[in-house]
Amino acid sequence: MDLKQMRYFMALAEEANFGRAAERLHMAQPPLTRNIRALEQELGTQLFVRTTKGAELTEAGRALMEEVPNILALARRAEEQTQLAGQGYLGRLDVGIFSSGILNVIPRLLAGFHTERPEVKIGLHNMSKAEQISALRERRITIGFNRLVPDEPDIAVDWVLREPFLVALYEGHRLCAKKSVTLRDLDNERMILYPNAPVHGLAQEVAAAFRAENVQLRVEQEVEDVVTCIALVASRFGICVTTESAVNLRLPGVVYRPLRSTQLREIELSCLYRRGDNSPILQAFLKLIQTSRIHRVRAQL
């Protein structure tokens, strides 16, 4: 018994007339009659009693009628859910994030994606750069966000946002009087670096810039994330080089100034994902990232 036969059976059961049922199904009456007879032969029982007025359900027919509407409804739901999943409107998007990444564009992207595709479940996973790459390979996440992502043959990387560098100062620091700060201004200042991680990142970029400009880097603290770093600045432990997104922390007692440096001009926030991953959900999210990027570039023109 297939779905087509169930639809024919249900139409005839509700219309109680072969002619009206055939008209409802947009088919001729003889094929409908043949299909109903084939169904009765398959089930080994009579489903309808033919009368001068049409057709009436037998006991067996009434029993089948109790089940067929539910079966057809389930089939329709399965078809709809399959189509939605195939179009990226149903499923799950697991996202690897890092501390400062959630201070700017990522929440807006995720909110926009949720508005467009509310039935897609979004899972957020706080991970380091190395953990994100590993999680992508193990298919534990669909996409990650990070900075200074190394080249990997199986991982695709695309830029999401370019941010300028800033210097975070505590209120009352002598450099607060300046409109912008150079690395020379930071010579022998008590500096807080982040993230304290073995892979190349912002801390290594800052250290390399100090060396390139022949400025003494005095490291007061090395911490794991931007929140801890800016909190230490607010507590007057030292100052730090950070990115524009850190301003969104809005911690009291912290003043930001643009950094003027030949080495540290801007830094990219990137998305990373598996090469060859044609998941409809991922493709829809990448399209949203691309659209958002185009809008930001146009706004800056």
Which pair of tokens denotes residue 90? 């149903």
Parse the chain into domains and list their residue ranges. Answer: 3-84, 91-160+270-300, 161-267
Task: Give the CA count within 13 Å in the CB-facing half-sphere of 54.
Answer: 16
Please enumerate in sequence order all residues whose Cβ is within 8 A of that of 155, keeping only pairs 6 or more positions apart, or say none. 133, 136, 137, 149, 272, 273, 274, 275
Helix (H) or strand (E) holding 212: helix 202-212
Taking only the tens place, the pLDDT of each residue in 165-201 is 999 999 999 999 999 999 999 999 999 999 888 788 8
| CATH code reported for the domain at 3-84 | 1.10.10.10
Question: Is-contact 241 206, C-beta < 8 A?
Answer: yes
Q: For the residues 34-57, what does the mean pLDDT come to?
A: 92
Which pair of tokens denotes residue 255? 């003043």
Q: How many CB atoms lie within 10 A of CB 294?
A: 10
Evaluate whether 3-84 and 161-267 have a shared fold.
no
Question: 285 has which bridge partners?
Answer: none
Taking only the tens place, the pLDDT of each residue in 203-250 is 999 999 999 999 999 999 999 999 999 999 999 999 999 999 999 999
Please provide the DSSP assignment of 2-37 as one string: -HHHHHHHHHHHHH-SHHHHHHHTTS-HHHHHHHHH
In 3D space, the residue among 291, 206, 252, 242 whose CA is nearest the CA of residue 103 turns out to be 242
In 3D space, the residue among 11, 20, 74 whose CA is nearest the CA of residue 39 turns out to be 11
Which pair of tokens denotes residue 9? 């059976």
> Is the confidence at residue 300, as pLDDT, over 80?
no
In 3D space, the residue among 137, 84, 79 whose CA is nearest the CA of residue 281 turns out to be 84
Q: What is the mean pLDDT of the chain?
A: 93
Cis before residue 252, ω within 30 degrees of 0? no
Higher pLDDT, 25 or 200: 25
Question: Is-contact 185 289, C-beta < 8 A?
Answer: no
Instruction: State the Cα–Cα distance between residues 115 and 89, nearest whole angstrom.
Output: 11
Sign of CA dihedral 26, 30, 36, 38: negative
Of all residues in the chain, the percent with pLDDT exceeding 70 is: 99
Instruction: State the Cα–Cα distance between residues 148 and 157, nearest whole angstrom.
Output: 10
What are the phi and psi torsion angles at 90 (to 5°)?
-150, 135
Cα–Cα distance list, 79 to 75, 76, 83, 85 (Å): 6, 5, 6, 10
Higher pLDDT, 80 or 275: 275
Please state the pTM of the whole predicted model: 0.74
pLDDT score for 127: 92
Q: Which CATH architecture has domain 161-267?
A: 3-Layer(aba) Sandwich (3.40)
> Is the confidence at residue 301, as pLDDT, over 80?
no
| Third-level CATH fold of 91-160+270-300 | D-Maltodextrin-Binding Protein; domain 2 (3.40.190)
Of all residues in the chain, the percent with pLDDT exceeding 90 is: 82
In 3D space, the residue among 182, 181, 180, 244 whose CA is nearest the CA of residue 215 turns out to be 182
Taking only the tens place, the pLDDT of each residue in 79-118 is 888 888 888 899 999 999 987 778 878 999 999 999 999 9
Higher pLDDT, 158 or 103: 158
pLDDT score for 179: 96
pLDDT score for 45: 94
